Chain A
Amino acid sequence: MIELAGIRRAYHVGNQDVYALSDVDLTIERGDYVSIMGPSGSGKSTLLNIIGLLDRPDQGAYRLDEQDVTTLTDDQQAGVRQRTMGFVFQFFHLIPRLSAADNIALPLVLAGVPADERRTRVDAVLADMGLSDRAEHRPEELSGGQRQRVAIARAVIMRPSILLADEPTGNLDRHTGEEVVTLLEGLHASGLTLLVVTHDPALGHRAGRQLRMEDGRIISDTQSQPAP
């Protein structure tokens, strides 16, 4: 469903061009569980941002579900993001003044979903995440693990087909990180395509497909049978 061909992305640092991605070709099938590993600056976040349509490549073609999405306008890309992408960030990015339920409902609000439908969907997701008793708590009243679960709930509330996670456990201790990963893998099991950027090898090796990046290139692409 994701096809990248000859993707190049350069940043200008001073008067030098620094390639965050150079000539990346990548195909990801629906329902894949892919981890992207590599040292910082290797271009893994840039790759994730381009797949998530938050960034545009300078060169190359990106086809999503057989559709060329590089030529879409910003607003059209926003629409694609809304319908097909869910984002999970290292720093959660919850809006501090909104309750957990309101944070989760935000994508629905932006999409113009009526309030009563929002409530049923948010309640269902809160129950799935085991957060029903935290619905009216603000982010500052939640633990790190709970915050990340709220963020995951927000990412899946629009029922996307792709879940993009950038260092989802980077700000959590090992135990809560484990919980969050289990949660993400559960979502993958239910049919979502899951992409995880991490430099934690333990997390990376759990994925069915593992990409290693260095200097803006994919240097290895290994398939492994997920642990039973």
Chain B
Amino acid sequence: MKPGDSLAFAGGALSGNRLRTALILLAMAIGVASVVVLSSLGDAARRYVIGEFSALGAHLVIVLPGRSETTGANPSMFLGETSRDLTIADAMALERLPGVRRIAPINVGATPVSRKGHSRDILLLGSTPDFLGIRGFHMEKGRFLPDTSADQATAVCVIGKKVKRELFGSEPALGEWLRIADRRFRVTGILASEGTSLGQDTDELVIVPVAAAQSIFNTQSLFRILVDVRTQEQVPKVITRVEEAIRQRHQGDLDVTVMTQDAVVGAFNNILNTLTLAVTGIAGISLIVAGVLVMNVMLVAVSQRTAEIGLLKAIGATGAQILRLFLLESALLAILGAALGLAIGYAGNQAIGHWFPKLTMAAPWWSEFGAIVVAVLTGLLFGILPARKAARLDPITSLQRR
């Protein structure tokens, strides 16, 4: 039997029962599409987060209170728990280290801000003038924080555009006063929109001098210190110097974690890659389910087409030929289903990319490849049993049925 004829025969058998074929194609397609979409989604999230971090600037060293035994992200990074406070004095000491271009101590917290009866909760960030340059933010209007010593709690603030709109409306805000927690601050500048960065929307941010933030939050401790190193080559040396300086200042204890941008990015990369794989694996299970459905459909096909199989044997088909024909049928189901699934997956990616433009949806090469391979393998694997059943049918008993 020629390959083209086998294909035509198997294809004809599939189109002979359109509804069942369509349903099984759908099941296979959903499996493949979910693998493609979910892995793309995971990968897009990973690239998005990595991109966010990379926007911070390359030669950044981050100092966190609390010591973690391993490198990478650790709970203290998020919770800010510590054994000994990381203070503004520590930050000022780091600024004097060789190789350090500038630093930005940071305190962050949610707090209410109000003006003339309008009140809302915002994210308050305390830092120093260099923060603007380190984060790459820009001013829309006015000036950023005054260039005074970091431990001076000047009552000035810089506000995001949305905060300005909600508290001042169309009135001018520069030079006006507003109330943050229980203190009054004068607005000296308005931040330009930078979009959302690391979960902070610059439009919804209020920035005050770090010492002012500390007194609002009633703490001596910093959330973290960003250290901008002059060149990439100096980064390892600066890390050592930072650790040494903190150890001296903290009575010989190294109770901070010093990490580089790369370590943070690497940690997130690992986490998100693992997450992508896990989600893809779950989607992959639906492919196995689709495989079982293929088997079910083929078993039904074999018993419905018993007479046909008997006839094929009577007119000279060997068991191997019949096995091949039925395997080809399930393989066709799997391949067509996988192709349909890829198309649906791409369409899904396009749709998600359209609605969430920040996510660049592109399926990682391994997910498309893997989805097709798994689809075809399950189709073939689960096709073996029905095909063997067909090949072993006894022609006489098969032909006795009408």
Are A and B a genuine interacting pair, yes or no? Answer: yes
Q: Give the distance in Å from the alpha carbon of A109 to the alpha carbon of B2 in the complex.
A: 7
B304-324 with Cβ < 8 A to chain A: 307-308, 310-321
Q: Give the distance in Å from the alpha carbon of A98 to the alpha carbon of B9 in the complex.
A: 9
Contacts of B315 in A (CB 8 A): 81-82, 87, 106-107, 110, 154, 158
Contacts of B312 in A (CB 8 A): 106, 110
Partner of A79, one of B15, B316, B319: B316
Q: Give the distance in Å from the alpha carbon of A55 to the alpha carbon of B12 in the complex.
A: 30
A-contacting 9-mer, from B92-100, B148-156, B366-374, B394-402: B394-402
The answer on a CB contact under 8 Å between A78 and B318 is: yes
The answer on a CB contact under 8 Å between A97 and B1 is: no
Is A93 an interface residue, CB under 8 A from the partner? yes
Most buried by B among A74, A91, A110, A112: A110
Give the residue name and chain of the B residue nearest to A157 (CB): B315
The answer on a CB contact under 8 Å between A109 and B316 is: no
The answer on a CB contact under 8 Å between B320 and A54 is: no
The answer on a CB contact under 8 Å between A109 and B310 is: no
A78-118 with Cβ < 8 A to chain B: 78-79, 81-83, 85, 87, 89, 91, 93, 95-98, 106-107, 109-112, 114-115
Is B16 an interface residue, CB under 8 A from the partner? yes
Q: Give the distance in Å from the alpha carbon of A49 to the alpha carbon of B313 in the complex.
A: 12
Contacts of A111 in B (CB 8 A): 1, 316
Report A107 CB to chain B, min CB distance, Å. Answer: 4
Is A145 an interface residue, CB under 8 A from the partner? no
The answer on a CB contact under 8 Å between A87 and B318 is: no
Is B5 an interface residue, CB under 8 A from the partner? yes
The answer on a CB contact under 8 Å between B13 and A97 is: yes
B106-156 with Cβ < 8 A to chain A: none
Q: Give the distance in Å from the alpha carbon of A83 to the alpha carbon of B316 in the complex.
A: 8
Partner of B313, one of A54, A83, A109: A54
The answer on a CB contact under 8 Å between B314 and A75 is: no
Give the residue name and chain of the A residue nearest to B305 (CB): A95
Q: Give the distance in Å from the alpha carbon of A17 to the alpha carbon of B328 in the complex.
A: 40
Number of interface residues of A (CB under 8 A): 30
Give the residue name and chain of the B residue nearest to A46 (CB): B396
Is A216 an interface residue, CB under 8 A from the partner? no
A13-46 with Cβ < 8 A to chain B: none
Give the residue name and chain of the B residue nearest to A107 (CB): B315
B133-187 with Cβ < 8 A to chain A: none
Report B213 CB to chain A, min CB distance, Å. Answer: 77
Most buried by A among B311, B315, B320: B315
Given contacts A49-B396, A55-B396, A98-B12, contact A110 B316 (CB under 8 A): yes
Query: Scoring B residues 320 to 363 as 1 if CB is less than 8 Å from chain A, else 0, what string do you get?
Result: 11000000000000000000000000000000000000000000
- The A/B interface has a contact count, at CB < 8 Å, of 70
Give the residue name and chain of the A residue nearest to B17 (CB): A97
Give the residue name and chain of the B residue nearest to A52 (CB): B314
Give the residue name and chain of the B residue nearest to A78 (CB): B318
Q: Give the distance in Å from the alpha carbon of A79 to the alpha carbon of B399 in the complex.
A: 19
Report B111 CB to chain A, min CB distance, Å. Answer: 74
Q: Give the distance in Å from the alpha carbon of A34 to the alpha carbon of B307 in the complex.
A: 27
The answer on a CB contact under 8 Å between A78 and B313 is: yes
The answer on a CB contact under 8 Å between A109 and B395 is: no
Partner of A109, one of B1, B13, B399: B1
Q: Give the distance in Å from the alpha carbon of A74 to the alpha carbon of B319 in the complex.
A: 8
The answer on a CB contact under 8 Å between A82 and B316 is: yes
Report A40 CB to chain B, min CB distance, Å. Answer: 12
Report A69 CB to chain B, min CB distance, Å. Answer: 14
Q: Give the distance in Å from the alpha carbon of A49 to the alpha carbon of B402 in the complex.
A: 17
Given contacts A81-B314, A81-B315, A81-B316, contact A93 B1 (CB under 8 A): no
Give the residue name and chain of the A residue nearest to B391 (CB): A74
Give the residue name and chain of the A residue nearest to B2 (CB): A112
Report A113 CB to chain B, min CB distance, Å. Answer: 9
The answer on a CB contact under 8 Å between A78 and B316 is: yes
Q: Give the distance in Å from the alpha carbon of A93 to the alpha carbon of B308 in the complex.
A: 7
B79-94 with Cβ < 8 A to chain A: none
Most buried by A among B16, B308, B318, B396: B318
Q: Give the distance in Å from the alpha carbon of A116 to the alpha carbon of B15 in the complex.
A: 24
Contacts of A83 in B (CB 8 A): 316
Contacts of B12 in A (CB 8 A): 97-98
Give the residue name and chain of the B residue nearest to A89 (CB): B399
Contacts of B399 in A (CB 8 A): 54, 89, 93
Contacts of B402 in A (CB 8 A): 91
Report B48 CB to chain A, min CB distance, Å. Answer: 51
Interchain Cβ contacts under 8 Å between A and B, 29 examples: A49-B396, A54-B313, A54-B399, A74-B319, A78-B313, A78-B317, A78-B319, A81-B315, A81-B316, A83-B316, A87-B314, A89-B399, A91-B402, A93-B307, A93-B310, A93-B314, A95-B308, A97-B16, A107-B315, A109-B2, A110-B1, A110-B312, A111-B1, A112-B1, A112-B5, A114-B2, A154-B315, A158-B315, A158-B316
The 3 closest A-B pairs by CB, nearest first: A82-B316, A97-B16, A107-B315
